[in-house]
Amino acid sequence: MKFLTECKADATADLVYRACPMHLLEPMELIKDLKPGQVLEILTDYDGALEDIPAWCAKHGQEFLGISEDACGDCYKLYIKKQSEEKS
Amino acid sequence: MKRAYMDHAAATPVRPEVMEAMLPFFVERFGNPSAVYDLGSAIKAVMEEQRGKVARLIGARDDEIIFTSSGAEANNLAIKGLAQATFLKRGRHLIVSGIEHHSVLNSARFLEKFFDFEVTFLPVDRYGRVDPDRLKQALTPATVMVSIGHGSNEIGTVQDIPELVAVCRAAGVAFHTDAVATVGQVPVDVKELGVDLLTISGPALGAPKGIGALYFRNKLRLVPQLNGGIQESGRRGGTENIPGIVGLGRAAELAWQELDETAIYLTKLRDLLIAGVRKHITHVFYTGHPEKRLPGHASFCFEGIEGEALIFMLSSRGVYANTGSACASKALKTSPVLGAIGIRPEVAQGSLVFTLSRDNREEEVQHVLAHLPPAVERLRSFSPVWRKKMTEAAGA
């Protein structure tokens, strides 16, 4: 897992406290609206996201940039860089 | 026998237009909106259409509406959901007014008991209004939220929410209002009120029991109180009550179209009822604010009688009203709301609340006025307390 100290995002999906698998479903929708090269930030308190998000990126041809700890410690921040239109 | 049903805060018949809209969704259009095939996705589209109708009624965005099973559930989700989502960052202090619905008061007490919250129960004035200065004084750096109802179903007073929100906003504290009594009766716009969370009940609009909604300002985090799947974007588990949601959507659509005329019509009936009571009955307190009140709400306390006896006597003549909230009334307890506005316990015993709807007619008000004064007089004639009072008054 790559840890990031700082990462600027073009859009944010706040999935904190929301039921699994919203941590996959909402980012899948939001990334459609981004242009290649833009970054999506995902906020989640779901531990399983640490495996699911990189795996989803690998499967769908997106670049998983890494993770940073939220300053307040109540959620994870994960970053995806859009590479191309999503492969379904 | 003629009938005058005026207890709409307790239960309201489903409007025929609402029933008609709901019917296809019990048998023909039964699909689960989470299903990916067309039987499901079509229902999902219908559900989102209803969300838009509810949002429009209160000036919200579609994605700021969560469907719930009731107003009570919406109050639970708002208060417990927001408190649990924010207490680690802000603290464990919550403020509610002393005249809130049980679903608000008991959600606060739940947090007090199981999450070590400190709850401030704010006093109200003789009309049931919260003083913004008292609210300001009650705020602490640990306050996570404030919950004060928009309108009181017991005394009819409509609270000045923007004034109270301004106090909270200055302190960065979230504000929830239970608007079950007001949505559909008076204009309710979440942006004008400035609230972060707002509760709606389906039955209050002529939708069936078992459906409600919570408005939550976009981006606000809530801890789900009903854990399950991804329904309501992962904020409230459980397969959606589609017939109920369709009913609420249709009822919201009708309420939006009819809002101005509803308020005018209900105000006329209410004022007729109040004027009649004042003309024909002495020793009566009119509870709640005289002007800033719900259009379809008239509430009284009659000295020298017990409200329950009056309810039974009136119901035998086809007049249906309540002594206060449906729950408190059944427990035969003196209303804490009436206590909070300073009504003496012996007077609060004689509480009678009329909640009107568009279904009521002027003839029904006349029916009430024909039966209420003699019923009060008869009950007073049985009362030794009343006789003593009258004897003393005559001797004075």
The pLDDT value given to residue B1: 77
**pLDDT tens, position by position, B246-279:** 999 999 999 999 999 999 999 999 999 999 999 9
Catalytic positions of A, written as ranges: 20
Question: Could you report the per-residue pLDDT of B171-208, keeping only the tens digit for each?
Answer: 999 999 999 999 999 999 999 999 999 999 999 999 99
Name the residue among A18, A72, A74 with its Cβ closest to that of B233.
Answer: A18
Q: What is the pLDDT of residue B392?
A: 86
Strand B174-178 and strand B197-201: pairing?
parallel
Chain B: residues touching A (Cβ < 8 Å): 85, 88-89, 219, 221-224, 227-230, 233-235, 237
Torsion sign across C-alpha atoms A67, A69, A70, A75? positive
Structural domains in chain A plus CATH codes = 11-75 (3.30.110.40)
Residue B233 to chain A, least CA–CA distance (Å): 7
Using the beta-carbon criterion (under 8 Å), do A19 and B228 form an inter-chain contact? Answer: yes
Q: Which residue of A has its CA nearest to B228?
A: A19
Q: In sequence order, which residues have a C-beta less than 8 Å from that of residue B235 and are 6 or more positions away?
A: A17, A18, A19, B66, B77, B222, B224
Confidence of residue A88 (pLDDT cuts 50, 70, 90): very low
Global pTM? Answer: 0.94
pLDDT at residue B332 in the model? 55
A68 vs B131, which has greater pLDDT? B131
8 Å CB contact of B224 and A18: yes
Distances, alpha carbon B172 to alpha carbons A79, B85, B109, B244, in Å: 29, 15, 23, 35
B316, B319, B324, B328: CA torsion to nearest 10: 30
pLDDT score of A87 more than 60: no
For chain B, list the domains and their CATH numbers. 4-10+259-395 (3.90.1150.10), 16-255 (3.40.640.10)
Give the lowest-confidence range in B154-163, B171-180, B332-341. Answer: B332-341
Residues B6-62 have pLDDT tens digits of 999 999 999 999 999 999 999 999 999 999 999 999 999 999 999 999 999 999 999
**Which positions in chain A touch B34 (Cβ < 8 Å)?**
none
pLDDT value of position A6: 80
Q: Is the dihedral of CA B218, B222, B225, B230 positive or negative?
A: positive
pLDDT at residue B395 in the model: 80
Cβ of A74 and B235 within 8 Å? no
B189 by DSSP, 3-state: which?
Answer: coil
- Predicted local distance difference test score (pLDDT) of residue B391: 87
pLDDT tens-place string over residues A23-69: 999 999 999 999 999 999 999 999 999 999 999 999 999 999 999 86
B129: confidence class by pLDDT, cuts 50, 70, 90? very high
Residues of B in contact with A20 (CB under 8 A): 230, 234
Residue B244 has pLDDT above 60, yes or no: yes
Other beta carbons less than 10 A from residue B187's beta carbon: 15
pLDDT at A86: 53
pLDDT at B155 over 90: yes
pLDDT tens for B78-91 read: 999 999 999 988 99
| Cβ–Cβ < 8 Å for B161, B215 | no
- What's the mean pLDDT in B222-236? 96
> Pick from A14, A22, A72: which is nearest to B219 by CB?
A14
Chain A residues with CB inside 8 Å of B221's CB? Answer: 14, 16-17
Question: Taking CB atoms and an 8 Å limit, are A17 and B227 in contact across chains?
Answer: no
Q: Looking at the predicted structure, is the pLDDT value of residue B329 above 80? A: no
pLDDT surpasses 90 at A7: no
Region B283-309 average pLDDT: 95
Bond into B224 cis (ω within 30): no
Place of tokens 């994605």: B63
Q: Beta partners for B205?
A: none
Edge to edge, the sheet with strand B212-216 lists B65-68, B212-216, B197-201, B174-178, B143-147, B93-97, B118-122
Q: Confirm if B184 and B212 have CB atoms less than 8 A apart.
A: no
**To the nearest whole percent, how much of chain A has pLDDT over 70?**
91
pLDDT band at B305 (very low <50, low <70, confident <90, very high): very high
For B233, which of A16, A22, A72 is closest by C-beta distance? A22
From CA B44, how far away is CA B262, in angstroms rounded? 31
Q: How far away is chain B from the Cα of A17, in angstroms, using its nearest Cα?
A: 5
The CA distance from B63 to the nearest CA of chain A, in Å, is 13
Contacts of B228 in chain A (CB under 8 A): 19
The secondary structure of residue A5, as a DSSP letter, is S
Mean of the pLDDT values across residues B144-169?
Answer: 97
The answer to whether A18 contacts B235, with C-beta atoms less than 8 Å apart, is yes
Closest listed residue to residue B369, CA positions, set B354, B359, B350, B351: B354
User: Nearest CA of chain B to the CA of A68: how many Å?
Assistant: 19
* Residue among B207, B259, B200 at smallest CA distance from B13: B207
Closest chain B residue to the Cα of A12, Cα to Cα: B219
Return the pLDDT at B88. Answer: 87
The angle that helices B362-382 and B242-280 make with each other, rounded to 10 degrees, is 60
Q: What's the confidence (pLDDT) of residue A2?
A: 82
Report the run of H or E that residue A68 belongs to, with start and end: strand A63-69
Closest CA of chain A from B127, distance in Å: 39
Task: State the helix-helix crossing angle for B242-280 and B38-58, rounded to 10 degrees.
Answer: 30
User: What pLDDT, on a 0 to 100 scale, did the predictor assign at position A85?
Assistant: 66
| pLDDT at residue B112 is higher than 80 | yes
Is the pLDDT assigned to residue B355 strictly greater than 90? Answer: yes
CB-based contacts of B143, cutoff 8 Å, min separation 6: B90, B91, B93, B94, B95, B171, B173
- Chain A CB contacts of B222 below 8 Å: 17
Mean pLDDT over all residues of chain B?
Answer: 95
Inter-chain touch B233–A72, beta carbons under 8 Å: no
Among A18, A28, A29, the residue to mutate for chain B (most B Cβ within 10 A):
A18
Does position B328 have pLDDT exceeding 70, yes or no? no
Per-residue pLDDT for B330 more than 70?
Answer: no
pLDDT reported for residue B165: 98
A16, HSE (Cβ side, Cα atoms, 13 Å): 21
